[in-house]
Amino acid sequence: MNQPAIQDLYPDDYANCYGCGRNNKSGLQLKSYWQGEESICHHTPAPHYTGGVPGFLYGGMIASLMDCHGAGTAAAAKSRETGEPVSRFVTASLKVDYLKPTPLGIELEIRAKVVEIKGRKVIVDLSLLADKTLCATGTVVMVQIPPPLQT
């Protein structure tokens, strides 16, 4: 990608998330990018994220992937709207519908599209695909947090 990842634009004080924080060296290091009116994230989960059935992804990891990608999408969308630098968003609500078991061992694609921006709140619809098969959908409500205090 020629553009920086959305998460790489977070202020340093807010770049520590396990899922998407560039400063969390033990984390997943998720990266999201704009592609038209959607943002896209690719991730291949490690085998130890298996769920109750061997060879398939743990549902909590699916929710985490959608949560972090949704937060990045909300931040980038708000920045596009206001022209201000990318800020940080936190989850007010997360709803996930698990449609099919998500296999391990292949790259997943998480796609996000902004539904609404209203003040500090951004609503994002998400889909998670494994080898072009839709495995989960979701909606997140994200809320913008204030910038870090300058000391």
Q: What is the dihedral of CA 106, 108, 109, 115, to 10 degrees?
A: 160
Lookup: tokens for 151: 């000391």
For 58-68, b/e burial (b = at least 16 CB within 10 A) is beebbbbbbbb
Cα angle: 10, vertex 12, 15; to 5 degrees: 60
The tokens describing 38, both together, are 């959607």
- List the catalytic residue out of 12, 67, 125, 131: 67
Of 92, 57, 89, 56, the residue nearest 72 (C-alpha): 89
- What are the helix (H) ranges across the chain? 59-82
- Distance from first CA to last CA of the chain, Å, rounded? 35
12 an active-site residue?
no
- Residues marked active site are found at 67
